[in-house]
A and B are shown apart, each in its own frame.
Chain A
């Protein structure tokens, strides 16, 4: 009996709960509607005569717009030139495009003067410019000019402030009202209001400035650069701190800030409010009042407690362990914090109203940062909590990509600035926003090569296309014989037998002229001889004859079979951005000599695939010849054998991935080491040490070691499996 009562009671309860659960919401809605029935949602009326309404403009008038103007187009342009100057400069009114037409985009830096002190940062900028592939020492052929006067710090209280810039500039015959000049600046204005004034007349010069205010920014003309410290590396640069994608992408803290709180003056409003969102658990927002000499004068009641809390946490620790980092304005709009958070993969939450974000002309910051509003600080915690984990993950990766592509060194910052200007000069040959914002980034995509996505090795998946079905075999012949050797004949036969081969190119780099066309073997595919200039870097020149996406690079001594070529090409089509090939080498760190080592020994790792037999994308020829500065190619031309290492370093620097080794037949001889042992030991070891030197010089030039090691080799699916030979696609590989 007891049990039954219990059940009845329970059922009652359950049914009431059910009714309550579904009913209340409905009832509320019902009440809402009955209440509003009298004045239901007032939409925009459907006018009875809406079809009779007139058009906003007479269609003919709309198409004939233009008959009333009095000025001719030329007159209008001329009048604009005089009106839109200085603070209203745009490229079309303040920049002389004709200077860039004859010699292309060339950059001239004023010679440095002895008595002129230059800050460390500015000297790095000048070095970057001088090392750039756009540099010219001749002002006659220059398109863009950069002063040797240090204009980075224009806070006149600062020690690095240069006086009388106006006078000095007026003395330069090349100044020309600032036309085609680019001025770099990190700090402008000073206490108390930090105006954006530089303290001299920049005239019609382009200003590349940190902490740019949108109001002063001349869109499409000026460039906003990030604030970087004097310790920012010249080249290479540290990599980002995201070493692995963690799922879910949560870290210990959700949102952190640790920094100064200004008690008075500009920017204090935002920083004073930051402590409100501190909850001591997942949101840590700490401020200190200690800054400047007389902070105690303005001290308020919070200061003492805040200062104590402040010491409890370590800035670096917070940076490493938080998903989001608040980047509020300081006295100026930008701060070091921005780049620090970016590098740390701590998604920046910007509280800096009116800041023209660094390189915002090309970078889509909406993918890497949360652009908050200073006025809505208190909404930030709930806003960031609502962001889905998959977006957080995408944000984190994008911070790392942007950091590495545009910010991690002074070189990159300077080059991004130059490339943005270059893109403006010929709009039809410029990078789309997509190219700037996806891997590997705008600096590594040369619009002079192509503006079509499908021509690059990086975008096949996103673009839903695939690399071409054929390849071009590119054989370098250097033998001094003057006639055709057996190996090269055999190689041509083997390669032309491949079903994927479109054509064979022979780069003839010998003193003697190539044999007449009758001497060459008959092949089913076209065979072309190119006369080289007898430089080692020739083999990576972007010859117009190479029309396929894939290039099979070969040496004349290489011995390959048709199946090997076929299989390697199929592998390459799956990895079109990497080098796919046969003989491999590796690098290692030699702790005793404190330098990088290079080895051709049989090891279980590889990081270099020799271009004596390798597939890669033809775009790398363009990168090699046009992206790398001339100095680097000269270095390679001066050494006996280094160009293939440079190619591997370049591809690894672009992709951040190791090359791929495919399987090869057993009897394939390692030609190079054989020669070394066989011919002359001394010559061989000299060659070897040259390669090692070269590797170290390249590392020095790039600023880091780009090569990535791998333990992977790809074999055909049934390779060496105990099944009938007839089932195998590449049976000849096993012979």
Chain B
């Protein structure tokens, strides 16, 4: 390649001194017009920002009690129960999402309403703190659109996070009368506490037809792989307690169980472990004789010893997360926050965000039947791996558990990745802690390939001025049989490379 030297326009600059006054006026007006234009452009550039920042003022400032009331007639339609065979290609209307250069789905949020039955009794609490945070996070994210016609995904403002705080039939009716409900197509519901006594279903009992469910506590029988999203059960302690990250390494206890109200059968198995292995296993329970005013949620007891919760979790290498009536437990979030490696004992539980997160790197899953072997199983894990799991656990909490915002955005990202798979976030981006992302090296040419000899090589000669030595190099290099091409990069801009075939 011969790089042509830039040609300077030699006639331009000579013009100005020769100008007459008359023309000078012309030029001055011309330049001022240009200048004005540029200033105006600049102003426009900044203007919209001030408008946007002032858009906060236009956000409604109202009380949740002032929202419109909708009365649901008793005979208003109820959606079908959830369809277990739903998959993205059968129940999701992908045409609403379209092809867009940013590869981002558009999410619409229905405005908040208060639903009452025919007698004026409310159907549920209007909205919980957490669901409000979640919707605010979606609204502030780049997924959000306020245009219902451009939306690909719809999020009802009807709060179904906790099934116990709502009336199932009426909530279903409320869903069915949403303006774009259409059998629940492209609707996303968030639920963290599904089921109710006595049998505790592992998915939300509210009939919801084709709606996608982001649920905490799915079992392998209710989870529609590739359609639903498994999410964590948010622990309010995440927002309240600030647990600084503790460096990985050995801790005071080896195994710790902090859950209250464990089934007696589990508790006796844990106690058997403690009896066998002594002090390294700590089984905590609720405190019975706490003075008034101390919240029971923040204390745990073993015999007469009182421990602060969740701080005590940082004292242990492994923390047991047993299933309760439900599969999903809020304690998982606390355990991860403490950088304690969760030992998950909940058969058939679909772990949060398991579609993208590699839980084997942050947790140990043990079948319920193998609980008696727990100690020896955990002992067999190499120390260095434990340290990595501790770091990984904390990273999962920071990235995907710590707030309702984190949970909401991870859920939307997962759905987004299904719709635009060619722009999906990679395994590494989901799973590698920031520190690892920085320090690890990934070779872009990772496949061990030995290039074939037949192709030869290309020689690149950088030269400036010394044509003779250049020619000498060329003559020498061209003797090599495997040379297939020779490139000369002419780096002298003031001089053209020697011309004429004969010279070369």
- The interface of chain A, by Cβ under 8 A from chain B, is 4, 7-8, 11-12, 15, 18-19, 22-23, 26-27, 29-30, 33, 40-50, 53-57, 59-60, 62-70, 72-74, 77, 80, 84, 88, 90, 92, 97, 214-215, 219-220, 242-245, 353-354, 364, 366-367, 370-376, 379, 382-384, 386-387, 390, 393-394, 397, 400-401, 427-434, 437-439, 450-455, 461-464, 655-657, 708
Contacts and interface: CB of A to CB of B under 8 A. Distances in A.
A49 B65 contact: yes
Interface string B59-90: 11111110000000000000000000101111
Nearest to B36: A19
B370 to A, nearest CB: 9
Contact of A64 (B37, B47, B261, B369): B261
A59 B377 CA distance: 32
A79 B94 CA distance: 40
B442 to A, nearest CB: 6
B50 to A, nearest CB: 11
B261 A437 contact: no
A31 to B, nearest CB: 11
B441 A464 contact: yes
A374 B138 CA distance: 29
Contacts, number: 308
Given A63-B259, A65-B325, A245-B449, A92 B139 contact: no
Contacts of B381: 428, 451
B444 A393 contact: yes
A69 B200 contact: yes
Given A49-B64, A77-B368, A44 B138 contact: yes
A438 B427 CA distance: 11
Interface centre among A41, A245, A364 (most CB of B within 10 A): A41
A63 B127 contact: no
Nearest to A47: B64
B15 to A, nearest CB: 7
Contacts of A354: 87, 89-90
Given A59-B236, A461-B443, 5 more contacts: A23-B41, A60-B295, A375-B89, A432-B358, A453-B388
18 contacts: A8-B27, A11-B30, A12-B30, A15-B34, A49-B65, A50-B64, A55-B129, A59-B297, A92-B347, A215-B87, A243-B449, A245-B451, A364-B427, A366-B426, A386-B422, A386-B423, A428-B365, A708-B450
Nearest to A57: B162
Counting from the closest, the 7 A-B pairs by CB-CB distance are A66-B324, A44-B139, A353-B89, A26-B44, A452-B385, A56-B128, A464-B439
Interface string B38-56: 1011001101100100010
A655 B448 contact: yes
Contact of A43 (B59, B128, B234): B59
A220 B223 CA distance: 12
Contact of B162 (A43, A48, A56, A656): A56
A299 B439 CA distance: 61
B421 A45 contact: no
B452 interface: yes
A394 B324 contact: no
A45 to B, nearest CB: 4
Contacts of A453: 388
A365 to B, nearest CB: 9
Interface string B358-395: 10110011111100000001101110110010000000
Contacts of A370: 421-422
Given A56-B131, A219-B225, A432-B360, A244 B440 contact: no
A320 B129 CA distance: 58
A53 B64 contact: yes
Interface stretch (B2-10, B191-199, B206-214, B487-495): B191-199
Contacts of A390: 444
Contacts of A463: 436, 440
A84 B219 CA distance: 12
A74 B193 CA distance: 23
A568 to B, nearest CB: 22
Interface size class of B (residues with CB under 8 A): 35 or more
Interface of B: 15, 19, 23, 26-27, 30, 33-34, 37-38, 40-41, 44-45, 47-48, 51, 55, 58-65, 85, 87-90, 94-95, 99, 101, 109, 112, 125, 127-132, 135-136, 138-140, 144, 146, 159, 161-162, 164-165, 192-193, 197-198, 200, 220-221, 223, 225-226, 233-237, 259-266, 286, 295-297, 323-326, 329-331, 347-348, 358, 360-361, 364-369, 377-378, 380-382, 384-385, 388, 417, 421-424, 426-427, 431, 436, 439-452, 455
Contact of A47 (B62, B161, B325, B446): B62
A345 B262 CA distance: 53
B324 A65 contact: yes
A433 B89 contact: no
A55 to B, nearest CB: 6
Contact of A48 (B63, B197, B450, B452): B63
A124 B450 CA distance: 32
Given A56-B162, A59-B236, A245 B427 contact: no
A40 B58 contact: yes
B260 A379 contact: no
Contacts of B388: 452-453
A65 B261 contact: yes
A66 B262 contact: yes
A35 to B, nearest CB: 12
B63 to A, nearest CB: 5
Contacts of A242: 447, 449
B132 A53 contact: yes
B130 A56 contact: yes
A89 B445 CA distance: 42
A20 to B, nearest CB: 9
B198 A70 contact: yes
Contact of B424 (A4, A366, A437): A366
A56 B23 CA distance: 76
B238 to A, nearest CB: 11
A63 B94 contact: no
B364 A428 contact: yes
A92 B382 CA distance: 27
Nearest to B367: A92
Contacts of B295: 59-60
A397 B236 contact: no
A451 B382 contact: yes
Interface centre among A26, A65, A371, A453 (most CB of B within 10 A): A65
A693 B365 CA distance: 48
Nearest to B90: A354
B233 A62 contact: yes
A433 B423 CA distance: 20
B115 to A, nearest CB: 17
